[in-house]
C-alpha cells in the first residue's frame, strides 16, 4: 500500500490525506477519459486536428506539471502558491472554480458529441452556429460550458509554460554545479 501523505484531497474520515499512487492514478484516469472524448470528436468533426491539438495540450501540460513538481520536490502538482500567475493560482487555489472548469470541459465535449448526432454536416463551427440558433437544451449547456472550458485551456497553456521554465532552470542549475 502506498504511503499516505498530505497531498491533495480528503479521505473518508474528513482528513486531508491521499496516497501518492492515488493522486497519480486520479490524474491518469482524468487524462484517459479526456483523451477518449477528444479522439472521438476528432473523428466526428472537421477539422479534427483541433481536438487532437487540445489532447496534446492536455497531456503535455499535465505531464510537464507533474515532472516539474518532482524536480522541485513538492508533494502535489497543485501546489502553485509560489507562482506569479494570478489565474494559475486562482484555478488551483479554489477547488470549486477548478471543479467547474474541469466539469465544464468534459460536459462541453460530451455535448459536442451529442450535437453531432443530429447533423449531416460535421464542420465544428457550422454545428456550433446551428445549435446556438436552435436554442436546444444541449445548446444552452454548450454555451454555459464554454467559459469554464476556455479557462481550463488557458490554465493548461500557463501550466505548460511554467513547468517548462522549471525544467529548463533545473537543467541550467545542474550544469552550473561542479
CA of residue 64 relative to chain centroid, distance: 12
What are the φ/ψ torsions at residue 119 (nearest 5 degrees)? -110, 140
Do the bridges between strand 18-19 and strand 4-5 make them parallel or antiparallel, or are there none, so unpaired? antiparallel
For the chain, the maximum distance between any two Cα atoms, rounded to a whole number of angstroms, is 66
Within its chain, how far is the Cα of 71 from the centroid?
A: 21
Which one of 8, 30, 82, 126 is the catalytic residue? 30
> Could you tell me the three cell numbers for 43?
473523428
- Our answer to whether residue 30 is catalytic in this structure is yes
Strand partners, 123: 46
How buried is 171 (Cβ within 10 angstroms: 0-12 exposed, 13-18 middle, 19+ buried)? exposed
E strand residue ranges, 64-129: none
Q: Catalytic residue numbers?
A: 30
Amino acid at each position: 500500500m502506498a504511503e499516505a501523505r498530505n497531498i491533495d484531497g480528503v479521505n473518508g474520515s474528513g482528513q486531508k490525506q491521499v496516497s501518492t499512487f492515488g493522486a497519480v492514478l486520479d490524474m491518469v484516469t482524468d487524462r484517459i477519459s479526456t483523451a477518449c472524448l477528444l479522439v472521438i470528436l476528432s473523428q466526428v468533426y472537421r477539422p479534427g486536428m483541433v481536438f487532437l491539438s487540445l489532447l496534446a495540450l492536455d497531456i503535455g501540460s499535465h505531464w510537464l506539471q507533474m515532472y516539474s513538481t518532482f524536480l522541485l520536490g513538492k508533494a502535489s502538482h497543485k501546489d502553485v502558491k509560489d507562482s506569479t500567475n494570478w489565474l494559475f493560482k486562482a484555478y488551483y487555489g479554489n477547488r470549486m472554480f477548478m471543479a467547474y472548469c474541469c466539469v465544464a470541459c468534459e460536459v462541453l465535449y460530451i455535448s459536442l458529441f451529442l450535437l453531432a448526432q443530429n447533423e449531416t454536416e460535421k464542420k465544428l463551427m457550422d454545428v456550433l452556429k446551428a445549435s446556438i440558433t436552435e436554442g436546444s437544451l444541449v445548446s444552452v449547456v454548450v454555451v454555459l460550458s464554454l467559459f469554464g472550458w476556455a479557462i481550463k485551456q488557458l490554465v493548461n497553456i500557463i501550466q505548460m509554460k511554467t513547468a517548462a521554465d522549471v525544467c529548463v532552470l533545473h537543467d541550467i542549475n545542474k550544469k552550473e554545479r561542479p
